[in-house]
Every structure is written in structure tokens, then in C-alpha cells.
Amino acid sequence: MKSNPLLLFLIFISLAGPVFSQNLDAEFDKLFQETFKPDGPGAAVQVVQKGKVLYRKAFGMANLELGVPMNADNVFRIGSVTKQFTAASILQLMEQGKLSLGDDLTKFIPDYPTQGKKITVEQLLNHTSGIASYTDMKEWTPEVQRKDFTPAELIDYFKNQPMDFEPGAQWKYNNSGYILLGYIIEKVSGQTYAEYVNEHIFKPLGMTHSYYGDVAPVIKNRSAGYSQADAGGTYVNAAYLSMTQPYAAGSLLSTVEDLCTWTRALHSGKVIKPESLKKAMTPCILPDGTNTHYGYGLQTGNLLGSLTVEHSGGIHGFLSDLVYLPGEDVCVAVLTNCDCKPPKDLADKLAALAIGKPYEPAAIQMDAGSMEQYTGVYENEKKEQRVISIENGQLYSMRTGGSRYRIIPFATDQFFFEGSFARVRFVREKNDGIKVVQAIVSDRTSADNMWAKTDKPLPSARPEMQLPEADLEKFTGEYQLMPGFNIVVSREGTQLFCQATGQPRFEVFAESPTRFFLKVVAAAIEFYPDEKGVVSKMVLFQGGQEIEGKRVK
């Protein structure tokens, strides 16, 4: 069933390529025009298939103050997309025999306080070192972010923090690990990180518009970076960040063209050997069997059945996404100059369209009575739960700690998740062919996530309270949970809303005079008024964590 559409797609291209290209352009244009307005921060995008540029355009403004429109040659900060360059540099040095992935960190930094643990180069690469990430430290304040650090000073800044976990035991995204990798590159190569990447990657590949992110040089077509000041769409210049701090974890600048050049070179053996690339693309499996879907600076995923190798980036004023489909040789690069509009979903949709796989199938009609057969509590092998329920005649799916999605039927026993690439296929009892016994979910990370239907009752609806407008008004404001991540609380009549940095605005519902819950995700927030009734902090409860947010506005 999967091969026939692809075969028809290939035939269609060969017989009617120009018409397809025009239709594809129109669909791509629509996606970006809906997101990036002509007078706001913008984006550059490029889609390449088998070396041929399918699409290359720009939208919005590169500089709001000067009124300069965006163009496809604009240079952006790429944030954590930098990590794959750092990882490739480490693998180059490994191939030269200058280091081993099993080397202890103290081989390169003898006085690093490993707290009696062995921390390997590989654990730095795949985020399993347990070292605290400096960008998660409460001490990493806006004032600190403005300071210049040498690599050694930056390491000194975080090295004495408590370990998050035993090295190799868990996975946690970690910028500190890549700072250490950058320093290792310098120690082993005798060059600065910037010199090494320029000499061994940018120049050999002809990436003439890629740079280390120094703010001093005049760089042609450099985009200005912006943030969104409020939910109303007011933009401000992004907060200053010394580019000495992201370093090997997120300091590089590039263009969509250069990133596509880099991606195809990396996957064709021009940067590292095929066996090294295989290591970089192989996800780390934790001792408990958890697949992290992360290798060395590269994340693997599943896009409607196609393997993806990808990474996103976020840094003050900029967001980026780079996704590659090895099987189809399709590369999509999207760079934006506001840290307010994540391009991940756009990049995925472009990739899906480029390979002829509709990301939103045509829906079929189903009445609420027919939907009842799918409702219930499902469990996977880890005993995590997924609840399928009906609300207002619509079917919804929500897993433990996840977001709630409407699921829409498009074929017998098959549904797609609204606004998502995930699909779910329900399996019936073999003997009678009637009773639903299993749900198989295919999402962006897994093509065969199995959930068995249980006899457990559906959870009852949480009780809601209606609070007066005056009581809700005292909660409105902006709360900082960590540097660069705030939650804006607003009110419309008797309804309270929350909007996290870079995310949509969601309704929250009162279950007590100070505690509210979300229906779209398993999370709650609680406000803490002082003795005078003034609210200066809130706490987010999600995934077993309690994260305090201080009121900043």
C-alpha cells in the first residue's frame, strides 16, 4: 500500500514535472504566508531534492527598523543546529586517531571535577553525561548572558554544579556537554573552535556564507533578531547575548543554501567516513531500553514512514530547523529571525509535500456512536497510559504527560492527529473482528508504538470552578520559569489563558481559587498570593516536575 502512491508520484513527476512544481510552489507559499507577514520578522527557506533546488524563497523582514525585506541569502544565527558541526569535528579528530569516543573527559581537562565518575566523549555527544546544562542554571541571568567568557571561563562557570544523574543512566539535553566538546576540539587540534570549523568544514565545502557568530565583523546580509513582547504581536529587538557563551553548542551563523550544502556533503561521505556517520545517526539506547532518538548532534525520526535526520535550534532572536530524509535525498532548511515562531512544523510539512505524502489526509465522516468503540484507556509496555475519549462529538487522544489531540478518521480504523504528523490505527480482535484491542501510533519518533486496550474506566472529568473577573485579574502578568522561557497569563472575561514562549495560547481552568489546570496537556499551574493578595510567583506542575516562575511583569 505504501509503494503504490510513491510509484504514481514518481511517474507524475516524470510526465508532468512543471505542473507539479507550480502546485508545490503554491502550497509552500501558502504555508509561509500564513505564518510570516510582510511587515513582521521573517524566514528564509530552501528545499533540495537529489541536488536540485525545488524551492527557495524568503518572507517577511530581515530588519524591521530599516524596513529591509528578507531574502533567501540572509545570514542567521542557527543556534543548536551548530551541534552537528561540533559532533562532526569530533568525529574527524577521532578518524585521525587524535581521540577516542571512550576517552575520559579528564584526559583533556585533568582538573575537571567529575565527582568520581567517568564521563566519556561519547556521553557528551549524546547528552547522557549527567553534567548540569549551564543554560538551565538559575544563575544564568540576563545580566550574566551579556558577559564575555573564554571557553575555560565558561567551563569554570558550570563545572561545580551537582550532577543531574549518573553518567550514561539517563538522557537530558545538555548545552554544557557541547561547550566541553568545543574545548576538546581546541585542545586536540591546536586551533580555536572557530578556526577549526572554518578550515575543516566551511572552506572545503564552499560554505562561503557561514561563520562563527562574532558580533564585531560586518557580515553581508546578516539578519537582525527579534522577540515578541506580548501576545498582541509587538516585536522588540532580541535581548543581547554574548556569542562567546553559546560557543560550540550554538554559536554558528549560516544560510539556508549553505545548510543544504552541508547536509548533503555530510551524508555523502565528504565530511566524515560512512561508518562515522552511522555512529552519529545511531540513537543512544539507555540501560532501561529507552530509545533517546538522539545520536551525536543529530536526532532521528519518522515522517509518515520515512526516516529523518534532523535538529532544531533556538537562540536569542532566532529559531531554525534542518531536516534531511536520507531515503529520498530531501533536505529542508528553515531559518527565522524571531524566537517567537518555531519553524519545525513548517519544515516537516515541506518535507512531506516534497516526497508526495499528504500530511493531512482527507477526513471521512463518523458519528459519535461509531466513535464509542475506540474509547478507553490504553497502555504500552512501560505502563504509560493513553486515553481515547469523546467530547462534543469529537474523538481525542491524550497520553500520560502529553498534549491532548483531536483524532480525525480518514480510513477504516485509521485516524490522524489534528495539526500533527501522528497517525493511529486501531486493531480488532482476530477471532471476532469486532472488539478493538490495540492502538498502533505512528508519530515523528516511532513508526510502531503499540498500546493495548485495557478494561480500566475512563478518568472522570476534573471539576471546574468559575471565579470572578477581579480574582482572575490579579494573576495576569508575565512569569519567568527559566532564562528565555516565560509564561504570559492573560484574561478574557472570566476565562484565564497561558502562553509559554514560542507556544500557542491555551485556556486554563480553575480547580481552586489559586490552582488551574490545562485540558490540552497534563499540566497545572498554581499562583501564590502574599498576605496582601499580591501574586509574585507561580509554579508549573508537569511531568512530575515543579518549576517555579517569578513574576517579571
Question: What are the chain's domains?
Answer: 76-354 (3.40.710.10), 368-453 (2.40.128.50), 469-551 (2.40.128.50)
Q: Which helix (H) or strand (E) holds 523?
A: strand 523-529
Q: Residue 432: which region, alpha, beta or left (left: phi > 0; alpha: psi -120 to 50)? A: alpha
Tens digit of pLDDT per residue, the chain (553 long)? 333 322 222 222 222 333 334 578 888 999 999 999 999 999 999 999 999 999 999 999 999 999 999 999 999 999 999 999 999 999 999 999 999 999 999 999 999 999 999 999 999 999 999 999 999 999 999 999 999 999 999 999 999 999 999 999 999 999 999 999 999 999 999 999 999 999 999 999 999 999 999 899 999 999 999 998 876 678 999 999 999 999 999 999 999 999 999 999 999 999 999 999 999 999 999 999 999 999 999 999 999 989 999 999 999 999 999 999 999 999 999 999 999 889 999 999 999 999 998 788 899 999 888 999 999 999 998 888 999 999 889 999 988 777 788 999 999 999 999 988 999 999 999 888 899 999 999 988 876 789 999 999 998 878 889 999 999 999 999 998 877 678 999 999 999 999 987 778 889 999 999 999 988 888 899 999 998 889 999 999 887 788 899 998 8
CB 449 within 8 A of CB 371: no
What CA–CA distance (Å, rounded) separates 424 from 156? 48
Instruction: Please give the grid coordinates belonging to residue 102.
Output: 571512550
CB 67 within 8 A of CB 61: yes
Which DSSP state fits 494?
T
Q: Residue 493: which region, alpha, beta or left (left: phi > 0; alpha: psi -120 to 50)? A: left
SS (H, E, C) 261-327: HHHHHHCCCCCCCHHHHHHHHCCCECCCCCECCECCCCEEEEECCEEEEEEEEEECCEEEEEEEECC
Beta bridge partners of 397: 388, 405
Instruction: Please give the grid coordinates belonging to residue 284.
Output: 543512544
The alpha carbon dihedral of 30, 32, 36, 39 has a sign of negative
Instruction: Please give the grid coordinates belonging to residue 235.
Output: 516585536
Distance of CA 433 to the CA centre of its chain: 40
DSSP per-residue letters across 94-154: HHTTS--TT-BGGGTSTT---TT---BHHHHHTT-S-PPPGGG-TT--HHHHTS---HHHH
- The residues, any chain, with a CB within 8 Å of residue 24's CB and separated by 6 or more, are 54, 55, 353, 354
Q: What are phi and psi of 127, to 5 degrees?
A: 65, 35
- The residues, any chain, with a CB within 8 Å of residue 36's CB and separated by 6 or more, are 42, 43, 59, 60, 336, 341
Which DSSP state fits 199?
I
Instruction: Please give the grid coordinates belonging to residue 490.
Output: 492573560
Give the pTM.
Answer: 0.81
43, 72, 485, 85: which is closest to 246 by C-alpha?
A: 85
Q: Which residue has the cell 543546529?
A: 81
What CA–CA distance (Å, rounded) separates 280 from 263? 13
- The residues, any chain, with a CB within 8 Å of residue 149's CB and separated by 6 or more, are 157, 242, 244, 245
The alpha carbon dihedral of 524, 529, 533, 535 has a sign of negative
Task: State the pLDDT at residue 232.
Answer: 66
CB 57 within 8 A of CB 29: yes
What CA–CA distance (Å, rounded) separates 240 from 236? 12
CB-count exposure of residue 479 (10 Å: 0-12, 13-18, 19+): buried
Which DSSP state fits 202?
I
- The residues, any chain, with a CB within 8 Å of residue 61's CB and separated by 6 or more, are 38, 39, 40, 41, 42, 67, 68, 69, 70
